[in-house]
Structure 1
Amino acid sequence: MNLLFLPALAFDKKWIVLGQSIWTRGIMFLMRTICGLKVEIRGQEYIPKGAGLIAAKHQSAFETMVFHALLKDPAMVLKKELLSIPIYGWYCKKTEMIAVDRNGHAAALKAMIKQAQDALSNDRPIVIFPEGTRSALDSDLPYQPGIAALYSKLDTPVTPMALNTGVFWPRKQFVCKPGTIIIEFLPPIPAGLKRKDFMAQLKETIEPKTKELVEEGRKAHLS
């Protein structure tokens, strides 16, 4: 797929967006047919139809892919270093992903907000992983300031997302376990809350639901 769509880099980005969607659906098909790993999406009524902000739990590589099948032209917040990866980085640049310099502090946050504003103005949903990295099962990582900055500056509701992908496709592991990945979108947190209140509500929404889904996944896998 990477090689097939290389010529599309010379044309409108819609062709790369199409390629991302085909690639993701192909990955999901292979997961299902080869690994016995299915995907269940809950709370689909909460998925933004266009511009919006999604704060997603991040436990595996799957979250970097699945949004290309669930959303139309998502703008993913990712670390700037990924743009340096040959071919993959070219596609990220072409599709205008939101690249963040994690060592850039205030200037990096300002640049991220500008890119996010541009994405919303083009009716694109934004996806950010509040922890900033993949988390191990049962870990309790702090939520980074990037999500708080986007929430306050964009003045838009945030849709939390919980999941149990780490049960079946653990971080830093290649092999997938059979079962059913559950991804659940939760009711949006309205705009306008104070920063501290928003961060507390976001974590208190995502983390308990994630633990619930992880336990559900573990029980199903053992049975």
Structure 2
Amino acid sequence: MRGLRTVIFYILLGTSGIIWSCVSLLIAPLLSYRARYRFVVKAWTGFAVWLAKVICGIRYEISGLENVPKTPCIIIANHQSTWETFFLSALFEPTSQVIKRELLKVPFFGWAFALLKPIAIDRNNGKLALQQITEQGGRYIKQGCWVLIFPQGTRVSPGETGKFSRGGAALACALNVPVLPIAHNAGEYWPNKNWIKRPGTIKVIIGPVMSPHGSDPRAIVDLNTRSQSFIDQALASMSPVHNSALTDPPARPATDS
């Protein structure tokens, strides 16, 4: 039954994505950026989250909304599935997301995505990627956009931590804007390595904003460590799988001597 529901879900999601991308390519260029974001992203990603709930039984509960600042900042979240990409893009408006440059070449979806100020980076060139994040992210923050960054870079299964890159912390320190850490356990119901969806309630925890203490390398390491610590602790509180994986303290980035 779960397999059948998942197949129905993907057929409806894929069909709606193609239709919506085609419509967006015709209408979005005529709209202002904020109206374009609501039309192209918020409407469809909200539909995707709703579809996952109705077809696959994937619900969510969110805590910490009182921590969301009125002024856009850098959002740092763990990455376990596609669900959080949909959910966070609909929750924060408008959002510029750091993505792989190759995604813009995907027919229909990538073409529509290109209209929405994504920060498309070359992940094979770390130095250039960091420069792109800083330059484009700074420009979009000034234009009133949230910047969504998944420091792990790729999807990490529940119970695993993965590498936690400093790009988001570096951007926050360079711009002197706070970081809003967000943790979730979406991968337990929308698994990365298994196409079948599981019914259940995803927990989303929004932490308090964390301000940078300077812009030097030590400040970047400090902010990145604080963000990762919050996410790890939040995951441990909501997921026995992650909690067991943290029997030994997670590795911390070494500070400069």
Structure 2 length as normaliser, TM-score?
0.79
2:27 paired residue number: 8
Greater Cα shift, 202-211 or 10-19: 10-19
Q: Which amino acid is 1:5 matched to?
A: S
Structure 2: how far apart are the matches of 1:49 and 1:79? 29
Mapped contact 1:50–1:124 kept (Cα < 8 A): no
2:117 aligns to what SS in structure 1? coil
- Give 1:175's aligned residue: 196
- Cα distance in 2 for partners of 1:17, 1:174 equals 29
- Give the fraction of aligned pairs with identical amino acids, expressed as a percent: 30
Q: Is the 8 A contact 1:56 1:160 kept in 2?
A: yes
Selected match of 1:148 from 169, 174, 186: 169
Which one of 220, 227, 237 corresponds to residue 195 of structure 1?
220
Equivalents in 1 of 2:42, 2:128: separation in Å?
32
Distance 1:122 1:16 in 2: 14
Correspondence list, 1:18-167, <5 A: 18-167=39-188
Alpha-carbon spacing, 1:74–1:199, altered in 2? closer, same or farther (3 Å): same
Q: Which entry has the higher C-alpha Rg, 1 or 2?
A: 2
CA 1:97–1:17 in structure 2 vs 1: closer, same or farther (change >3 Å)? farther
Aligned residue number for residue 231 of structure 2: 206
**Gapped regions of structure 2 (runs ≥ 5):** 1-19, 243-257
Secondary structure, counterpart of 2:23 in structure 1: coil
- Does the C-alpha gap of structure 1 residues 216 and 185 become closer, same or farther in structure 2, counting only changes over 3 Å? farther
Structure 1 residue 186, shift from structure 2 partner: 0.3
After the TM superposition, which of the residue ranges 60-69 and 7-16 deviates more from structure 2?
Answer: 7-16
4+ aligned runs moved over 3 Å, structure 1: none
Structure 1 residues 41, 163: closer, same or farther in 2, change over 3 A? same
Aligned residues: 218
CA distance in 1, matches of 2:59, 2:39: 22
What is the distance in 1 between the residues matched to 2:229 and 2:166? 16
Q: Which moved more, 1:33-42 or 1:43-52?
A: 43-52
User: Cα deviations across residues 48-94 of structure 1 (Å, max 9, x unaligned)?
Assistant: 43421110011011122112321111011111111111121122211
Flag the 1:96–1:216 CA change in 2: closer, same or farther, 3 A: same
The 8 Å contact of residues 138 and 171 in structure 2, kept in 1 or not, is answered as no
Moved more, 48-57 or 69-78: 48-57
Contact 1:24 1:69 in 2 (8 A): yes
The TM-score with structure 1 as length reference comes to 0.90
- Whole-Å Cα distance in 1 between the matches of residues 89 and 162 of structure 2? 26
Contact 1:51 1:122 in 2 (8 A): no
Match of 2:11 in 1: none
Aligned Cα root-mean-square deviation (Å) = 2.0
Alpha-carbon separation, structure 1, partners of 2:144 and 2:74: 11
Higher relative contact order (CA 8 A, sep 6+): 1
Q: Is contact 2:166–2:224 with CA below 8 Å preserved after alignment?
A: no
State how far apart, in whole Å, the 1-side matches of 2:188 and 2:230 are. Answer: 20
**Structure 1 unaligned residues grouped into runs of 5+:** 218-223
> Which stretch shows the higher mean deviation, 198-207 or 7-16?
7-16
Aligned residue for 1:2, secondary structure, equals helix
Does the aligned pair in 1 maintain the 2:69–2:209 contact within 8 Å? Answer: no
CA-CA distance at 1:152 after TM superposition: 1.9
